[in-house]
């Protein structure tokens, strides 16, 4: 039995499913999750001493690789002078300044502890600021596990939301309307019916939780227009895309302004963090200057602020993004070539250093296209790659990420593994 197998057995006694976040349990690909002992650069080392090129990057934060020196130093330095005070610090002011300087549309920002908190709080703020109760989200977009957001579409366009999870009251879920990602007409139809009751549209400007689906031309612009016409707020959930798809996030890449933006992942450098911000006129509704309540014992935590500031300062060098984009393109072209050579139907998507891999021909425009791909092949490919030291996301519905620590050696190692894995798939 491997150490990961032992640990997994033990973990399942004390932790539901053996994990503290469901996708880590490998449920959708089968097998035993690897328990990670350490990580450096682009590599993970598991409890059995096996090494893997990491394409998850802690689900996004590790854009400069694991143990990147400025972040490591910042955490160590802060740990020596205090890890939490429950009082304001200069670090928080620096973080707020930096986020507002870099992200178009941010005039004020509030820190919290996770992406889930950021989206929950942004929605409450949007509801409080507009005096409306309904929200519109898109099927296949994930915004954390807040009650109002654990909702998927019913069958008809205009059906009320039904909860995806037991524990979410139907009376609450009914305020969550759901449209189809990249299908502006589906959102327009809902606005025709509910427009004056919708507080906000919340959307991943690049969908990264149904694999990696870029916005169709005109989609984000169309959502902006709907909000302008009906007095609703547009919320870009940039928890994943912020400082990932470009130095100004998806807002910078696509040039569409949201009223509120949620952030997380990268801005904490790997420590627990979230943030939401936007126009001062909206943000001024928040307590203590406004009536909309939001708070947190550890919000603006000094360790997280120190780590986040270090990574964001390093990312001021925008050439990092050019290199990341180029390395990602090289990887994806190599994978496509390997799949083609083996005669495997395969396609990829890329936005900056976020990518999607699909066992199908594409194009990939939304959840229906992703679901139509060969999930079984993905599962086998995932394990063939894992056995060869390449750690892809353990689900066909998750985006992959590169880091600046992924260089020619890591790409070569990955493509060698891919050639062998595609050949094994073709032979099966
Ligand atoms: N929004 C998006 C777009 C996300 O990708 C995630 C997490 N993957 C969240 C919100 C929730 O963030 P957290 O897991 O930090 O609560």
**CB contact at 8 A, 364 and 412:** no
Tokens of 69: 């020196």
CA distance 428 to 344: 11
Give the angle subtended at the CA of 383 by the CAs of 419 and 213, to the nearest 5°. Answer: 80
Q: Are residues 216 and 326 in the same domain?
A: no
Which whole number is the average pLDDT over 308-317?
98
Give percent above pLDDT 70 in the chain.
Answer: 97
Alpha carbon separation from 316 to 239, 246, 320, 423 (Å, rounded): 19, 11, 9, 41
Question: Which of 284, 314, 344 represents a domain boundary (last residue)?
Answer: 314
Residue 165 scores a pLDDT above 60: yes
Q: Are residues 309 and 336 in the same domain?
A: no
Ligand 1 pocket, residue 139 CB under 6 Å: no
What's the whole-number average pLDDT of the chain?
95
Q: Residue length, the chain?
A: 428
**Index of the ligand 1 atom closest to the CA of residue 208:** 5
CATH number at residue 55: 3.90.1150.10
DSSP codes of every residue in 91-157: HHHHHHHHHHHHSTT-SEEEEESSHHHHHHHHHHHHHHHHT--EEEEEET----S-GGGSEE--SST
Spatial strand order of the sheet with 36-40 comes to 36-40, 43-46, 51-54, 390-391
Q: Are residues 223 and 325 in the same domain?
A: no
Tokens of 46: 């598991």
Q: Are residues 104 and 242 in the same domain?
A: yes
Cα 114 to ligand 1 centre (Å): 7
**Index of the ligand 1 atom closest to the CA of residue 209:** 5
Q: Are residues 337 and 199 in the same domain?
A: no
Ligand 1 pocket, residue 239 CB under 6 Å: yes
Ligand 1 pocket, residue 143 CB under 6 Å: yes
CA distance 300 to 238: 18
**CB contact at 8 A, 415 and 378:** no
Q: Are residues 322 and 418 in the same domain?
A: yes
- Please, is 108 exposed, middle or buried when counting C-beta atoms within 10 Å of its C-beta (0-12, 13-18, 19+)? middle
Q: Are residues 164 and 266 in the same domain?
A: yes
Which whole number is the average pLDDT over 123-148?
95
Looking at 87-96, 147-156, 160-169, which range is the least confident one?
A: 147-156
Residue 322 scores a pLDDT above 50: yes
Residue 35 scores a pLDDT above 80: yes
Which whole number is the average pLDDT over 299-320?
98
CATH number at residue 222: 3.40.640.10
CA distance 264 to 270: 10
Looking at 50-59, 85-94, 103-112, 139-148, which range is the least confident one?
A: 139-148
Q: Are residues 304 and 322 in the same domain?
A: no
CA distance 428 to 408: 30
Q: Best of 240, 268, 400 to mutate for ligand 1, by most ligand atoms within 8 A of CB?
A: 240
Tokens of 168: 């979410």
> What is the DSSP pairing of strand 176-180 with strand 134-139?
parallel
Cα 310 to ligand 1 centre (Å): 21
Which residues are designated catalytic? 142, 237, 265
Q: Are residues 98 and 182 in the same domain?
A: yes
The DSSP H or E segment spanning 219 is helix 219-230
CA distance 211 to 99: 27
Q: Are residues 309 and 325 in the same domain?
A: no
Give percent above pLDDT 90 in the chain.
Answer: 93
Backbone conformation region of residue 186, classed left if phi is above 0, alpha if psi is from -120 to 50, else beta: alpha
pLDDT digits (tens, 9 = 90+) for 241-277: 999 999 999 999 999 999 999 999 999 999 999 999 9
Looking at 38-52, 154-168, 264-278, 360-374, which range is the least confident one?
A: 154-168
| 406-245-21-79 Cα dihedral, nearest 10 degrees | 70
Residue 42 scores a pLDDT above 50: yes
Residue 157 scores a pLDDT above 70: no
Cα 424 to ligand 1 centre (Å): 34
Which whole number is the average pLDDT over 101-112?
98
Strand partners, 90: none
Residue 62 scores a pLDDT above 60: yes
Q: Are residues 310 and 323 in the same domain?
A: no
Structural domain harbouring 234: 69-314
pLDDT at residue 160, as a whole number: 53
CA distance 253 to 92: 26
Question: Which of 279, 314, 349 represents a domain boundary (last residue)?
Answer: 314
Domain total of the chain: 2
DSSP codes of every residue in 262-324: EEEGGGGTTSS-EEEEE-HHHHTTBTTTSSB----TTTT-HHHHHHHHHHHHHTT-THHHHHH
Spatial strand order of the sheet with 274-278 comes to 108-112, 274-278, 260-264, 233-237, 198-203, 134-139, 176-180
pLDDT at residue 151, as a whole number: 81
Question: Which of 314, 342, 376 represents a domain boundary (last residue)?
Answer: 314
Q: Whose CA is nearest to atom 10 of ligand 1?
A: 143
Alpha carbon separation from 418 to 34, 57, 345, 399 (Å, rounded): 20, 19, 14, 18
Phi/psi for 396 (5° steps) reads: -75, 0
Q: Are residues 217 and 346 in the same domain?
A: no
Cα 354 to ligand 1 centre (Å): 15
pLDDT digits (tens, 9 = 90+) for 185-215: 999 999 999 989 999 999 999 999 999 999 9
pTM above the 0.90 mark?
A: yes
- Please, is 103 exposed, middle or buried when counting C-beta atoms within 10 Å of its C-beta (0-12, 13-18, 19+)? buried
Ligand 1 pocket, residue 264 CB under 6 Å: yes
pLDDT digits (tens, 9 = 90+) for 369-404: 999 999 999 999 999 999 999 999 999 999 999 999
pLDDT at residue 153, as a whole number: 40
Cα 116 to ligand 1 centre (Å): 6
Residue 1: pLDDT band by 50, 70, 90 thresholds?
very high
**CB contact at 8 A, 200 and 125:** no
């Amino acid at each position: 039995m491997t150490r990961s197998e032992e640990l997994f057995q033990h973990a399942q006694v004390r932790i539901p499913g053996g994990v503290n976040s469901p996708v880590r349990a490998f449920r959708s690909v089968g097998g035993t999750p690897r328990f990670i002992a350490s990580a450096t650069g682009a590599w993970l080392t598991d409890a059995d001493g096996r090494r893997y090129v990491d394409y998850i990057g802690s689900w996004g934060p590790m854009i400069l690789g694991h143990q990147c020196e400025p972040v490591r130093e910042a955490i160590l330095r802060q740990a020596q002078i205090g890890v939490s005070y429950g009082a304001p610090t200069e670090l928080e002011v620096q973080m707020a300044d930096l986020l507002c300087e870099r992200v178009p549309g941010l005039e004020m920002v509030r820190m919290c502890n996770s992406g889930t908190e950021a989206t929950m709080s942004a929605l409450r703020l949007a509801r409080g600021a507009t005096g409306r109760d309904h929200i519109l989200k898109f099927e296949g977009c994930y915004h954390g596990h807040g009650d109002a957001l654990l909702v998927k579409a019913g069958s008809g366009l205009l059906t009320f939301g039904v909860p995806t999870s037991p524990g979410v009251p139907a009376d609450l879920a009914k305020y969550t309307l759901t449209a189809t990602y990249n299908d502006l007409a589906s959102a327009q139809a809902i606005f025709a019916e509910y427009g004056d009751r919708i507080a906000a549209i919340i959307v991943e400007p690049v969908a990264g939780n149904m694999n990696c689906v870029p916005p169709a031309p005109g989609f984000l612009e169309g959502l902006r227009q709907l909000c302008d016409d009906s007095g609703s707020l547009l919320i870009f959930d940039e928890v994943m895309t912020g400082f990932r798809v470009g130095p100004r996030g998806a807002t910078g890449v696509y040039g569409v302004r949201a009223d509120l933006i949620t952030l997380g992942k990268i801005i904490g450098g790997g420590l627990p963090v979230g943030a939401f911000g936007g126009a001062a006129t909206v943000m001024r509704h928040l307590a203590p200057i406004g009536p909309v309540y939001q708070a947190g014992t550890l919000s603006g935590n000094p360790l997280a602020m120190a780590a986040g500031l270090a990574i964001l300062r390093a990312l001021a060098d925008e050439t990092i993004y050019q290199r990341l984009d180029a390395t990602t393109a090289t990887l994806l072209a190599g994978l496509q070539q390997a799949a083609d050579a083996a005669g495997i139907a395969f396609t990829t998507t890329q936005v900056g250093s976020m990518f999607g891999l699909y066992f199908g021909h594409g194009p990939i425009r939304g959840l229906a296209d992703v679901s139509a791909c060969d999930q079984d092949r993905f599962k086998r490919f995932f394990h063939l790659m894992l056995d060869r030291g390449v750690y892809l996301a353990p689900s066909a519905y998750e985006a992959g990420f590169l880091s600046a620590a992924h260089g020619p050696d890591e790409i070569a190692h990955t493509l060698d593994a891919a050639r062998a894995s595609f050949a094994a798939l073709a032979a099966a």
